[in-house]
Amino acid sequence: MGYYSSLIQRKFKDLVGTRYEEVRLEYSDFLASEEEMKFSPIRTVLVPVDVLTTDIPGDLAELFLAYGARVHLAYIMDAQVLSLLDELAGEEAEEFRKVKEAQGRDTLDRFTRFLEKKGIAVQTSLFSGSKTEDVIRLSHSHDIVALYRGFGAAASEMAPLSPVVSHLNRRVEQSVIIF
């Protein structure tokens, strides 16, 4: 008998006596089971970043450290924007792509140094793709996803979450932390 079952028996000892199982079944829709109350271990965290991600808060890094989780920083450049530039700008588009890749590497290096200084293991990747579909695809191999509130589109005072983050929060099956 687990702690929760024991607690229910003590709480209702004088009220239900031996009818514990009957009461437990009647209220099972309202009470979490022992299995539902257990936390699953968090070993890997996906943190998608882009040009709009300004920082990773220290409190969030402390949470990653408390989990003992490995962090995957994925810098995603918007493939649609790069494709459109290829069509319109020609040779200048290649230069733009190189600048954006250098900017992505700098961002990944900065965040990696910050997290590793805290003692957190970090894996990085940089690629062009869909900020929504690739995050959903990558999320399947991670225990939790941490999203910057302005990821994919700038957040504002009127809309504190970008539409991309709002969409991902509904579609990703894993737990989501928004910072």
pLDDT in the model for residue 117? 96
% the chain with pLDDT above 70: 91
Q: What is the pLDDT of residue 82?
A: 80
Scored b (16 or more CB within 10 A) or e, 116-134 reads: eeeebebebebebbebbeb
pTM: 0.76
For residue 88, what pLDDT is reported? Answer: 78
Q: Classify burial at 28, counting beta carbons within 10 Å of its beta carbon; exposed 0-12, middle 13-18, buried 19 or more.
A: exposed
Beta strand extents in 10-167 (DSSP E only): 44-49, 70-78, 122-129, 144-147
pLDDT digits (tens, 9 = 90+) for 157-170: 777 889 999 999 99
Please provide the DSSP assignment of 28-73 as one string.
Answer: TTTS--HHHHSPPP--EEEEEE-TT-----HHHHHHHHHHT-EEEE
Q: List the Cα angle 94/97/99 in 5-degree steps.
A: 115
Per residue in 13-50, pLDDT tens? 666 666 767 777 777 777 777 777 777 889 999 999 99
CA distance 140 to 72: 13
Cα 90–chain centre separation: 36
**How is residue 72 written in tokens?**
């995957």
Buried b (16+ CB within 10 A) or exposed e, 154-166: ebeeeeebbebbb
